[in-house]
Amino acid sequence: MNKAVFLDRDGVITHDPPHYAHRIDQLKLISKSADAIRLLNETGFKVVIVSNQSGVARGYYQEKDVEIYNSAMEKELEKSGAYIDAIYYCPHYPEAEIEAYRINCDCRKPKPGMLKRAENDLNLDLKRSFLVGDKIIDIEAGYRAGCKTILVLTGHGNDELKKNAKMNIKPNYISKDLYTASQIISKNAKSLERN
């Protein structure tokens, strides 16, 4: 079975613009995020993006815009020798403007549906896997899937930490950014092999 690192996209890999990342001119990688992903690739982890994209359900952009943005991001990462093994996103929102997306799905984080789908698709051992996110809902999704979790302080991370000082669900680690998180994961990789 494979081990994976699940990454939220906006605020972890890419800068989170003020209003829903969906245009290529908004795409800007966070410093050293490509290096982080390359390190995870080299350490033998599947790298999987799991991202809520409720802007689709709210009518701000379409699913094809998410796919164009993701493709552009992958090309940017490839310039540094980094690659993504799979991308999952949730376009749903319970109070959606667009009726087709107005569902209470199992894939919108904090629910672990995207991680469970990846588990089946990529033959993953979630207990040997990590989730890295900048929001408590990311951490909860990872926790519910049985992964170790890392809250990064980029994106919404600092604010989330201040707001949730007494978190019910605490991350296993807190890291200043994805690169530091990748170092933590890399150091833990050998002990995961022994378990």
CA distance linking residue 151 with residue 186, whole number of Å: 16
| Share in percent of the chain as helix, strand, coil (round to 5) | 45, 15, 40
Q: Would residue 121 show up in a list of annotated catalytic residues for this protein?
A: no
Q: Would residue 159 show up in a list of annotated catalytic residues for this protein?
A: no
* Main-chain phi, psi angles of 119, to 5 degrees: -55, -45
**Contact (CB, 8 A) for 135 and 110:** no
Q: Which member of 8, 16, 65, 138 is catalytic?
A: 8
CA distance linking residue 118 with residue 125, whole number of Å: 10
Could you give the residue numbers annotated as active site? Answer: 8, 10
